[in-house]
Amino acid sequence: MAWSIAQVARMSGVTSRTLRHYDEIGLLPPAWTAGNGHRHYGEAELLRLQQILLMRELGLGLREIQAVLDSQVDRLAALREHHRRLLAERDRLETLARTVGRTIAALEEGRDSSDMAQINRPENLFEGFEPGRHDAEARQRWPEQWEQSRRAVAGMGADTVAQWQREVTAGMIRMAEFMVAGTPVADPAVQAEADAQYRAVCRFWTPCAAAYKGLGQTYVDDPRFRANFDEIAEGLAVYQRDAMACYADTRLS
């Protein structure tokens, strides 16, 4: 069984021009070339093309792909590895899609009351900031900041608190998007988000570098905090802590 270059192009979505280029660089020679110059491909070439396309999807360059295909790697083992990486990428994209969806839900205007109730449900990310949750420790370690926070909370109405929670939750979802995209916590975009979140915390109290790092560690160590963060994206509590530590070292120290 053989297929012409036009048939392969239709089946694979790869243009004839690209297939000719793959032939010219030795990446995908046809099974044979007819007297009129038309290329024809067999099953082995189609399988090789499939592997090329898989590795392109995984971000490999043509030279890297050719080196892999021309090595004596077991073909079935290579396909299994491609399959594993594709499943991992699928899971990453599904997580990213969920976090983006949450961002849309949190920011979109005109949502009905039931949607907004879900977005602002009591167990949102910053439920742990409820008065009295960590009063004793905070009052002992950072008395001035504790008093500042107490006054700020006392002066806020329910609507103001709800709006603040919406803003902070949306910010945490944006942080989750950076995490699932693999963005380092020191990246300027992540640190810009950390700065926005630090300023949100400053509505209640103004933590020094050590206190801000301590707050980030609390997100990881306290089971309820961690569960609220990881409900949005698994691992977010740790990522948030690391971003806060980086921010504290570079901006607050």
The domain locations on the chain are: 3-72, 93-252
- The residue whose two tokens read 């050719």 is 66
Amino acid at 193: E
> What does the pLDDT read at residue 31?
94
Per the DSSP assignment, residues forming a β-bridge with 159 are none
Q: What is the pLDDT of residues 191-211, one digit of tens each?
A: 999 999 898 888 777 888 988
User: Mind listing the pLDDT tens digit for each residue in 128-156?
Assistant: 334 344 445 555 665 665 666 666 666 66
pLDDT at 111 over 70: no
Asked if the domains 3-72 and 93-252 are classified in one and the same CATH topology, the answer is no
With beta carbons less than 8 A apart as the criterion, state whether 130 and 224 touch.
Answer: no
Q: What is the CATH number assigned to the segment(s) 93-252?
A: 1.10.490.50
Asked whether 220 and 226 are in contact (CB, 8 A), the reply is yes
Helix (H) or strand (E) holding 162: helix 158-180
Supply the pLDDT for residue 194.
94
pLDDT per residue as tens digits for the range 39-81: 999 999 998 898 888 888 777 788 888 888 887 666 677 777 7
Q: Is pTM beyond 0.75 here?
A: no
CATH number of 3-72: 1.10.1660.10
Burial class (CB in 10 A: 0-12, 13-18, 19+), 2: middle
Angle between helices 5-12 and 43-57 (to 10 degrees): 40
Give the DSSP H/E element, type plus range, for residue 3.
strand 3-4
Distance CA 47, CA 49 (A): 5
Q: Which has the higher per-residue pLDDT, 116 or 245?
A: 245
pLDDT of 115: 42
Contact 190, 184 (CB under 8 A): yes
